Structures are given as structure tokens and as C-alpha cells.
Amino acid sequence: MTDDTLVCDIKNVLFIRFALGFLQNFNGTSKTRWLSYLYTICFLLLFAVLSLFPNEVIYVSYRILALIEYFFLFMISFLSKEEYIYESYKLIYGLDTIPGAKLIFQNLEYCLKVYFFVSVFTGSFFTGISICFRIQEACSITNSFAVILTILDRTARDIGAYSLIMFIGLLYSRVKLLRNYLDTKSANTAWDRYSVKQYINMYESLTNTIDDSAVPVKVTVCFSCTLLL
């Protein structure tokens, strides 16, 4: 990850994603970068072994589908190194610096953090509750390891797909910012050639960030189908 100015702080979320096997483009020596590659690959292998570890609590079909989903989320991160997320959140001068932008991005940062922790907590909680409710013997001490693995699996996949929330939240904030600017400009001043050109440049900057993130976002949507399971 680079040190460019971001519209809001997402480094903690990206670090948690890295802890769960989603590669980041860290600054540092080549040794640091190789260690980050090694860590994520080892985490994937460990995740696969634990997911396929024989147990009588979770159906094999569910574990296989969950592993497939995690694998594709992992590959998106491994090939992109999450650069598309980081690049999207870089400050766009002209668009992200217009009046009212600071408040909108502060609200975005707050919502992202709250949603992140609430979704992880509720996902883990309801996964554990649903397992114990459907399979009563799963709540016994002997099966506790399998339940913990299932909760970890659920958490890892939720955090892996969280990039969609980050992208949609940022897109919504910038579109709202652009519309507020347009409404204010239309109400208070007459449009001249410079104003029109400035607005077009803002719009093009917004669409460019969407285009740069289009492929990984679309693939993430396609292979997050098991999130509803």
C-alpha cells in the first residue's frame, strides 16, 4: 500500500482482510512482499484443510461451496493485491475537494466501520446459533472445534466480500457529492463554459474510478453466491 491521501481511513479494514488471507500491496523490501505472498498462500492452504476436515456437524456440500467462494475471493485479492480498492479511495482533486466533501467522507468512514464490525459480529453470532439450533449435538464440547471453524469460515468470506460494500459506499458518497454540487451551482450561479468543463471533468474522474474497478467488482459479485447459504 502506498502513502497517497485517501478520502477516509480504510487501512485497518485492509489489514484485517490481509490477516484473513487477502493479499495487500505493502510498501517495504522485497522480503516483506514475499512474506506477504507466503502468508496468504499458507492461509489459503490451512483454510482448505480445515474446511475439508472431517466432521459430522456441517454438511460436506456446504463446506465445499464455502471453500469455492473463499478461493475465488482469494484469487481476486491475490491477483489485484487490493490495489483497485486503494486506488478508488485516493483523493480526486476537484471532486473530493469541493465544499461538503469532508463531512460526506467522514460519514462514509463511520458507516463503513460500524457496518464492518456489526456484520462480522452478527454473522458469527447467527452462524453459531443456527448450527446449535439445527444440530443440537453441535453445541457439545466435542464438536466445539467444528463450530469455531464454521464461524471462522463465515467471517473470512464476509470480510472477503466486504470490498463490495466499500466500493458501493464510496460510489454512493461521490455521486451524492456531485449531485449536491450540481444543485448548489444551478441554484446560485449561472453556468459558463468553465463551469460546464469543470463538472464534466468531475464526472469523468468518477467514471474512471468505476472503470478501473469494474472487473474485480463484477467477479466478486458473481462468486459471492454462497453468501446467502
- Least confident span in 20-24, 65-69, 107-111: 65-69
Band of pLDDT at residue 169, cut at 50, 70 and 90:
very high
> Rounded to two decimals, what is the model's pTM?
0.82
The Cα 70–Cα 75 span in angstroms is: 9
Query: For the chain, how many structural domains are there in total?
Result: 1
Asked if residue 26 belongs to a domain, the reply is yes
The Cα 36–Cα 51 span in angstroms is: 22
Asked if residue 118 belongs to a domain, the reply is yes
Region 94-100 average pLDDT: 85
The Cα 229–Cα 219 span in angstroms is: 19
SS3 218: helix
Checking if the pLDDT of 177 tops 80, the result is yes
Band of pLDDT at residue 109, cut at 50, 70 and 90:
very high
Asked if residue 122 belongs to a domain, the reply is yes
Output the average pLDDT for the chain: 81
State which residues form the domain around 215: 11-228
Checking if the pLDDT of 223 tops 50, the result is yes
Asked if residue 2 belongs to a domain, the reply is no
Q: Answer yes or no: are the C-beta atoms of 154 and 127 closer than 8 Å.
A: yes
Instruction: Quote the pLDDT of residue 19.
Output: 92
Instruction: Quote the pLDDT of residue 216.
Output: 82
What contacts 24+ positions apart, CB below 8 Å, involve 47-55? 47/21, 47/153, 47/156, 50/149, 50/152, 50/153, 51/149, 51/153, 53/146, 53/149, 55/143, 55/145, 55/146, 55/149
Asked if residue 3 belongs to a domain, the reply is no
Asked if residue 161 belongs to a domain, the reply is yes
- pLDDT tens-digit readout, 8-44: 988 888 899 999 999 988 777 788 889 999 999 999 9
Checking if the pLDDT of 207 tops 60, the result is yes
